[in-house]
Amino acid sequence: MATPTTVSLPLPSSRRGLRWRRDRVQRFLLRDATLGYLFLLPALLVILGLVAYPFASAIVMTFQAKTAGAPGRFIGLENYRELFNSEQFLRTVFNTVVYTAVGVGVKFVLGLGMALVLNQERFCNNLFRTFLLIPWAIPTVMSALNWRWIFDDASGLINNVLVRLSLIDEAISWLSNPHLAMFSVIVVVVWQGTPFFTMSFLAGLQAIPKELYEAAEIDGASVLQQFSYITLPRLRPIFITAVMLSAILTSAAIQFVLVLTNGGPADRTMIFSVLAYHLALGGAQRLGMGAAVSLIFFPILVVFIVFLTRRMLREKAGD
């Protein structure tokens, strides 16, 4: 590496000047700040181009009547007004809340149960754990397709078995009965999503020092007391992270409904992502309306996202 002394030389020869300039360029490029921005530039472009820009343009779009490829026409709050006057939208809000709350709730309970069971010592436990996690690794669309076939009216597994056992006389329309459709969709969401909770909670359980339980045992604490005074408080941070992350992803997951019911029957399983999809890409191509549906839900999501961002960065810092 050249030292700055070259700078003080009066009238450097032309060769020297060239080398001096090259060194300077090299040193400039290898400075932390330059290198930092240079390294981050591609990532920054991705964020700006593929997340920030689309997001900003979504906001603009909600004030427009717009179809794909054509420029939008400004119509003020018309899209929002129409949505709030539409029964379909109000039903969608209700459905999304039910779908997310029940889905996340059941996944949470089952995941915690599974994690506790897997945390016990037994023969071949690792094998069982691996197997129970597989639904998470399967592409969600494949799970949804598989379940659509399981729920099939005429020849699906469930009706098939129920009829064989003479528990029912007529096939049950799991996906087209207005009272059952949401239930059926949530079953699939739970099947696919429980392993995520199991994995997270199991990792949390395994991080609790055994000494705590031994000490509690000596003090005469019952198993239930150990659970509520050691296990639960220790898992609390993971509970919060897992629930929030899952709430964001569950509410936004479009595949299950799109494959299983497409929002029907009579909008009983219509959730916001599917409604946005239908409005924007169904026959009428009302991109502005679709974007408005998505954005109305954003303020709720953003609370979770901001909270999680902080938490995830804090955990990283503590590594």
Cβ partners under 8 Å of residue 304, min gap 6: 244, 247, 248
Dihedral sign for Cα atoms in the order 41, 47, 49, 53: negative
Q: Which of 28, 53, 94, 183 is close enough to bind other proteins by CB under 8 A?
A: 53
Q: Which of 23, 82, 152, 153 is close enough to bind other proteins by CB under 8 A?
A: 152
Q: Which of residues 211-270 bind other proteins (CB under 8 A)?
A: 217, 220-223, 241-242, 245-255, 258-259
The residue (of 12 and 110) whose beta carbon lies closer to other proteins is 110
**Residue 105 in contact with other proteins, rule: CB under 8 A:** no
The separation between the first and the last C-alpha atoms of the chain, rounded to the nearest angstrom, is 35
Stretch that binds other proteins, among 11-19, 77-85, 87-95, 112-120 (CB under 8 A): 112-120
Least gap, CB of 104 to other proteins (angstroms): 8
Cβ partners under 8 Å of residue 240, min gap 6: 311
Q: Which of 65, 102, 106, 138 is close enough to bind other proteins by CB under 8 A?
A: 138
Least gap, CB of 315 to other proteins (angstroms): 7
Stretch that binds other proteins, among 7-15, 75-83, 178-186, 280-288 (CB under 8 A): 280-288
Report the C-alpha gap between 106 and 33 in whole angstroms: 48
The residue (of 161 and 232) whose beta carbon lies closer to other proteins is 161
Q: Which of residues 64-103 bind other proteins (CB under 8 A)?
A: 66, 68-69
Place of tokens 């502005």: 288
**Residue 112 in contact with other proteins, rule: CB under 8 A:** no
**Residue 185 in contact with other proteins, rule: CB under 8 A:** no
Q: How many residues bind other proteins (CB under 8 A)?
A: 115
Q: Which of residues 8-37 bind other proteins (CB under 8 A)?
A: 30, 32-33, 35-37
Q: Cis peptide leading into 195, omega within 30 of 0?
A: no
Q: Which of 23, 58, 88, 106 is close enough to bind other proteins by CB under 8 A?
A: 58
The residue (of 138 and 180) whose beta carbon lies closer to other proteins is 138
Least gap, CB of 1 to other proteins (angstroms): 9
Q: Both tokens of residue 312?
A: 């995830």
Least gap, CB of 119 to other proteins (angstroms): 9
